[in-house]
Amino acid sequence: MDVTEVLRMNGGDGDYSYSNNSLLQRKVILMTKPIIEDALTNLYCGMNFPKTLVMADLGCSSGPNTLLVASELIKSIHEIRLKLGHDESPEIQFYLNDLPHNDFNTLFLSVSKFQKNLTQLLVHNSSLPPCYFFGVPGSFYTRLFLNKSLHFVHSSYSLMWLSKVPDMENTNKGSIYISTTSPPSVIRAYHEQFQRDFFMFLKCRAEEMVGGGRMVLTILGRRSDDPCSKECCYHWDLLAETLNDMVVEGLIKEEKMDLFNIPQYTPSLKEVSNEVNKEGSFVVDCLEVSEVNWDACTDQNLNLSEDDTQGVNMSKCMRAVAEPLLLSHFGESIMEEVFARYTNVIKNRMSIEDAKLVNVTVSMTRKG
Amino acid sequence: MDVTEVLRMNGGDGDYSYSNNSLLQRKVILMTKPIIEDALTNLYCGMNFPKTLVMADLGCSSGPNTLLVASELIKSIHEIRLKLGHDESPEIQFYLNDLPHNDFNTLFLSVSKFQKNLTQLLVHNSSLPPCYFFGVPGSFYTRLFLNKSLHFVHSSYSLMWLSKVPDMENTNKGSIYISTTSPPSVIRAYHEQFQRDFFMFLKCRAEEMVGGGRMVLTILGRRSDDPCSKECCYHWDLLAETLNDMVVEGLIKEEKMDLFNIPQYTPSLKEVSNEVNKEGSFVVDCLEVSEVNWDACTDQNLNLSEDDTQGVNMSKCMRAVAEPLLLSHFGESIMEEVFARYTNVIKNRMSIEDAKLVNVTVSMTRKG
């Protein structure tokens, strides 16, 4: 599987699109707002109110969350400037990055509307910064920008995706991610792939960022030191359970199942900070863990018939994220069946327990 | 008609796509190569071999011509550097701009392949410059980039497109562009819209370019001072003739035809240089007129049954460019009929005369 060719969120704005099923990711972005504001304040003051701010959102996908990040960052800079009584507004250059198969057409049309609204805002408040938006197709595990050209880098719910499925000595029988039944060599292969990828990410960004530049990353991760911990593996374990049932019923070939593994790794706080220290170009300012309930996939303002809707929405959220990977391996014909079954499994679990996802957020400064 | 919403070349890679019907535009780009190389040499030496070169192709569309421009510019810089014996290769930042409805998804996938080939070249020739590509959705009649951020701007076959159909006192009865039967007020409205748009284009680029930066623009234009001259109006006259026939036959409503005008203006050399002088930020280094036969739409290496193929290809070239405008005004149902008839008209004319398009190329330097 060439991850660069296959990994993407479901595009467009249909029922299973990422655009319509990313409330959970939205909640996580809003949770990290104080950390982002703190980093921006330190950046903006530390650089003595630069005339230009170049920002990048890496793994931006396509949908309302992309513009949420952009508008929160732009608003933050505006508010910081007013609070500190600085007259002149900086120009903001905003880079939106994702893999080349991301739906940039949909993204650019929404950016275009967003810019028109921004222009309207400018009429009423002429001090809002002028903003220019650019799309950047490519893997963030490679160089994407000029040397020393970025002031601020943001990424949310993207860096747990690996550049490839790890090379494994043993098959990961019955599992599609790390699980309690995975052989130690599989767990090691996943961890080493994360180390290589995250190190490369840091190295590329170190070259691209100016000294004093800031970076805030939120990664799907874990509290526990144990990579097989339920907190990070449960949603994949349940998907594996669904697929294994279909193997037993002859709907999926066993050999096909044996060859499917998700190119993801959910690191602990310690694993993240180890890599930052090892790479050496950044100082960690803040390292936090937070959690978000599976029911964050459902709009809490809607008064809906509780558990069922929440299970359906968590399953749709997972489908928006994982369907292109499953589809490229198993083919389109079984997708409906896989997700119908997965929805039932999830509904069932959410009715009896309170499942969560864990997020690791790290804020850091480029040395020098 | 909101031109920003409607104007685009046919996307994808089908039979009527711009991607597969832009040989003529390719030929024009290659014709201007010496002018571009001259501008790049002067830029690169004049700035004493800068470490970074930021370039933009405005109105890049989607297809092989986009990457032709990019690769010609990158190769030129590489060759100039080697010729002048300068050791260090600059980093190149390359912006690809078009309106938000342009097919950026197709463009980004081809850029991604192109970058991989560039990386392969790098292995064998480590001095080829590292290049970073960005998509820029938006109208070039607005600001698109930070202040003083561009070194080199290129645009080919884009600036004859106006930001809107001119506001007209009179209807342009029987015509869809300026023609010998157009009232003087219509011709004036078109000219004034060109002046406003081109002035705005120059003003925006003047703010975005560094002093000493270079810009090479090729615009579909005319030699003659007369805006109704056949050399610039003929292909639209023939399309109007086709549409008028369909009005007579009741296939198109007359009122619908009366309201359709192409948002394009093909300026003379003098009109172009007048606007550059009026705006005042640029010095004209070179101003040239060239021409290209309609048969440039056909690959001259193919040994085909001459006139027929050439007429079909010229009609397909026009369809790839004009179909989205026609479609949004007249609806999809008559498109096949319009272009079947237009093909016959074109075939007929090409068999009896040698029709040409005229190009105005201007190379200029940002003052200061």
Q: Nearest chain B residue to A97 by CA: give it.
A: B134
d(C-alpha B254, C-alpha B246), whole Å: 9
Number of Cβ atoms within 10 Å of the Cβ of A290: 17
- The one-letter amino acid at A349: R
User: Does B137 contact A135 at a Cβ distance shorter than 8 Å?
Assistant: yes
Number of domains in chain B: 1
Report yes or no: A215 and A152 within 8 Å, Cβ to Cβ: yes
Percent of chain A scoring above 90 in pLDDT: 32
The pLDDT, as a whole number, for residue A77 is 84
Residues of B in contact with A51 (CB under 8 A): 147
The pLDDT, as a whole number, for residue B367 is 94
* Cross-strand bridge partners of residue B197: none
Number of Cβ atoms within 10 Å of the Cβ of A41: 17
pLDDT band at residue A329 under the 50/70/90 scheme: confident
Report yes or no: B152 and B215 within 8 Å, Cβ to Cβ: yes
| pLDDT tens for each residue of A198-216 | 999 999 999 999 999 999 9
Per-residue CA distances from B139 to A137, A263, B60, B203 (Å) = 20, 39, 12, 14
User: Does B112 contact A100 at a Cβ distance shorter than 8 Å?
Assistant: yes
The pLDDT, as a whole number, for residue B175 is 82
The string over B87-108, giving b where at least 16 C-beta atoms fall within 10 Å of a residue's C-beta and e elsewhere, is: eebbbbbbbbbbbbbbbbbbbb
**Shortest Cα–Cα distance, B94 to chain A (Å):** 10
The pLDDT, as a whole number, for residue B82 is 81
Assign residue A332 the CATH number of its domain: 3.40.50.150
Which helix (H) or strand (E) segment holds residue A131: the answer is: strand A131-137
Domain that holds residue A63: 3-366
The pLDDT, as a whole number, for residue A269 is 93
The pLDDT, as a whole number, for residue B301 is 66
User: Does B135 contact A137 at a Cβ distance shorter than 8 Å?
Assistant: yes
User: Does A135 contact B93 at a Cβ distance shorter than 8 Å?
Assistant: no
CA A243 to chain centre: 25
The pLDDT, as a whole number, for residue A170 is 75
Q: Pick from B101, B104, B144: which is nearest to A104 by CB? A: B104
Q: In the predicted model, what is the mean pLDDT of residues A316-331?
A: 78
Q: Which residues have CB under 8 Å from B303's CB, separation 6+?
A: none
User: Does B146 contact A115 at a Cβ distance shorter than 8 Å?
Assistant: no
| pLDDT tens for each residue of B139-179 | 999 999 999 999 999 998 899 999 988 888 778 887 888 87
- The one-letter amino acid at B335: M
Q: How many helices (H) and strands (E) are present in chain A, helices listed first?
A: 11, 7
The pLDDT, as a whole number, for residue A305 is 56
Question: For the ranges A3-12, A126-135, B18-27, B118-127, which has the lowest average pLDDT?
Answer: B118-127
The pLDDT, as a whole number, for residue A127 is 62
B234 to chain A, any CB pair closer than 8 A? The answer is no
- Phi, psi (degrees; rounded to nearest 5) at B101: -85, 0
Structure tokens at B217: 């623009």
User: Does A52 contact B147 at a Cβ distance shorter than 8 Å?
Assistant: yes
d(C-alpha B67, C-alpha B73), whole Å: 10
| pLDDT tens for each residue of A255-267 | 888 888 888 899 9
pLDDT band at residue A229 under the 50/70/90 scheme: confident
What count of Cα atoms within 13 Å lies in the side-chain half-sphere of residue A332?
A: 0
What count of Cα atoms within 13 Å lies in the side-chain half-sphere of residue B144?
A: 29
Which helix (H) or strand (E) segment holds residue A243: the answer is: helix A230-248
Q: In the predicted model, what is the mean pLDDT of residues A157-176?
A: 85
CA B241 to chain centre: 24
Report B:124-163 residues touching A (Cβ under 8 A).
130, 132-138, 143-147, 149
pLDDT band at residue A123 under the 50/70/90 scheme: very low
Q: In the predicted model, what is the mean pLDDT of residues A65-85?
A: 82
Q: Nearest chain B residue to A93 by CA: give it.
A: B146
User: Does B136 contact A138 at a Cβ distance shorter than 8 Å?
Assistant: no
Query: What are A102-105's contacts with CB under 8 Å, separation 24+?
Result: A102/A8, A102/A9, A102/A11, A102/A60, A102/A61, A102/A62, A102/A137, A103/A8, A103/A11, A103/A12, A103/A62, A103/B105, A104/A62, A104/A135, A104/A137, A104/B104, A104/B105, A104/B108, A104/B135, A105/B103, A105/B104, A105/B105
The pLDDT, as a whole number, for residue B152 is 96
User: Does A108 contact B104 at a Cβ distance shorter than 8 Å?
Assistant: yes
d(C-alpha B78, C-alpha B61), whole Å: 25
Residues of chain B with pLDDT under 70: 6, 119-128, 294, 296-297, 300-307
The pLDDT, as a whole number, for residue A301 is 66
Q: Nearest chain A residue to B97 by CA: give it.
A: A134
The pLDDT, as a whole number, for residue B120 is 63
pLDDT band at residue A117 under the 50/70/90 scheme: confident
Pairing of strands B91-98, B52-58: parallel
Percent of chain A scoring above 70 in pLDDT: 93
